[in-house]
Amino acid sequence: MWLQRNWDCNVILSKLIPYKVSNIMSRIGVFICHCGENISATVDCERVAKASSEMEGVEFATDYKYMCSDPGQTLIKTAIKEHHLDGVVVGSCSPRMHEATFRRACSEAGMNPYLCEIANLREHVSWVHEKCEATTNKAIEIVHGLVEKVKRNRPLDAIEVPVTKKALVIGGGIAGIQASLDIANCGQQVILIEKGPSIGGHMSQLSETFPTLDCSQCILTPRMVEVAQNPNITLYTYAELEKLEGFIGNFKATIRLQAKSVDDSKCTGCGLCTTKCPQNNIPSEFNEGLGTRTAIFTPFPQAVPNKPVIDKEHCKYYQKGKCKVCQKFCPTGAIEYDKPDEFITEDIGAVVVTTGFNVLKTEFFPEYGYGKYKDVINGLQFERLASASGPTLGEIRRPSDGQIPKKIVFIACCGSRDPAKGIPYCSKICCMYTAKHAMLYQHKVHDGDSTVFYMDVRAGGKNYEEFVRRAVEEDHVNYVRGRVARVYEKSGKLIVKGVDTLMGAKPVEIEADMVVLATAGVANKGAEELAQRMHISYDPYHFFTEAHPKLKPVETNTAGIFLAGACQAPKDIPETVASASGAAVKVVSLLSRPTLIREPLVAVVNRCAPPLFSTCVGCFMCQTICPYQAIEREEIKDRKTGKVLKVIARINPGLCQGCGTCVSFCRSKSIDIQGYTNEEMYAEVTALLNK
pLDDT in tens, 316-354: 999 998 899 999 999 999 999 999 999 999 999 999 999
Of 92, 120, 87, 91, which is closest to residue 106 (Cα–Cα)?
Answer: 87
pLDDT, one tens digit per residue, over 625-648 is 998 888 999 999 988 888 999 999
Other CB atoms within 10 Å distance of the CB of residue 601? 17
Angle 303-313-299 from CA coordinates, rounded to 5°: 10
The reported pLDDT for the residue numbered 86 is 93
| Beta strand spans in 456-505 (E) | 478-481, 484-490, 493-500
Give the mean model confidence (pLDDT) for residues 663-667.
93
The reported pLDDT for the residue numbered 283 is 95
Residue 299 makes CB contacts below 8 A (sequence gap 6+) with 196, 197, 198, 284, 285, 286, 293
- Mean of pLDDT over the chain: 92
The reported pLDDT for the residue numbered 691 is 62
Kindly report the CATH number that applies to the domain delimited by 166-348+542-591.
3.50.50.60
The reported pLDDT for the residue numbered 7 is 32
Phi, psi of 31 (to 5 degrees): -125, 115
Confidence of residue 24 (pLDDT cuts 50, 70, 90): low
Distance CA 438, CA 477 (A): 7
The reported pLDDT for the residue numbered 5 is 33
Of 83, 80, 43, 42, which is closest to residue 63 (Cα–Cα)?
Answer: 43
What residues pair up with 267 in beta bridges, in sequence order?
none
Residue 2 has pLDDT above 80, yes or no: no
The reported pLDDT for the residue numbered 470 is 96
Give the mean model confidence (pLDDT) for residues 667-673.
93
The reported pLDDT for the residue numbered 15 is 32
Confidence of residue 597 (pLDDT cuts 50, 70, 90): confident
The reported pLDDT for the residue numbered 19 is 32
Question: Using omega within 30 degrees of 0 as the cis cutoff, is the peptide bond preceding 574 cis?
Answer: no
Q: 438, 453 in Cβ contact below 8 A?
A: no
Give the mean model confidence (pLDDT) for residues 180-196.
97
Distance CA 309, CA 300 (A): 12
Residue 605 has pLDDT above 90, yes or no: yes
The reported pLDDT for the residue numbered 16 is 30
Of 681, 683, 687, which is closest to residue 55 (Cα–Cα)?
Answer: 687
| Beta strand spans in 375-533 (E) | 376-378, 407-414, 449-454, 478-481, 484-490, 493-500, 506-512, 514-519, 521-523
Other CB atoms within 10 Å distance of the CB of residue 35? 23
pLDDT, one tens digit per residue, over 49-93 is 999 999 999 999 999 999 999 999 999 999 999 999 999 999 999
Q: 232, 188 in Cβ contact below 8 A?
A: yes
Give the mean model confidence (pLDDT) for residues 205-228.
95
pLDDT, one tens digit per residue, over 347-404 is 999 999 999 999 999 999 999 988 899 999 999 999 999 999 999 999 999 999 999 9
Across 63-67, 189-193, 366-370, 560-564, least confident range: 366-370
Q: 353, 561 in Cβ contact below 8 A?
A: yes
Confidence of residue 8 (pLDDT cuts 50, 70, 90): very low
pLDDT, one tens digit per residue, over 93-144 is 999 889 999 999 999 999 999 999 999 999 999 999 999 999 999 999 999 9
Give the mean model confidence (pLDDT) for residues 530-548.
94
The reported pLDDT for the residue numbered 20 is 35
Query: Can you say whether the dihedral through the CA atoms of 63, 67, 72, 77 is positive or negative?
Result: positive
For the chain, domain boundaries:
28-152, 166-348+542-591, 357-523, 603-689
Residue 3 makes CB contacts below 8 A (sequence gap 6+) with 159, 160, 161, 162, 652, 653, 654
Give the mean model confidence (pLDDT) for residues 677-690.
90
Class of 357-523 per CATH?
alpha beta
pLDDT, one tens digit per residue, over 396-430 is 999 999 999 999 999 999 999 999 999 999 999 99
Of 356, 416, 313, 307, which is closest to residue 204 (Cα–Cα)?
Answer: 356
For the chain, give the percent of residues with pLDDT over 90. 85
CATH architecture of 603-689: 2-Layer Sandwich (3.30)
Terminal-residue alpha carbon distance, the chain:
49
Of 639, 627, 608, 633, which is closest to residue 665 (Cα–Cα)?
Answer: 627
Give the mean model confidence (pLDDT) for residues 652-666.
89
Of 204, 195, 196, which is closest to residue 174 (Cα–Cα)?
Answer: 204
HEC states along 202-243? HHHHCCEECCCCEEHHHHHHHHHHHHHHCCCEEEEECEEEEE
Of 2, 167, 157, 3, which is closest to residue 592 (Cα–Cα)?
Answer: 167
CATH topology match: 166-348+542-591 vs 357-523 = yes
Confidence of residue 25 (pLDDT cuts 50, 70, 90): low
Kindly report the CATH number that applies to the domain delimited by 28-152.
3.40.50
Distance CA 542, CA 527 (A): 6
Of 534, 556, 561, which is closest to residue 545 (Cα–Cα)?
Answer: 556
Give the mean model confidence (pLDDT) for residues 602-609.
92
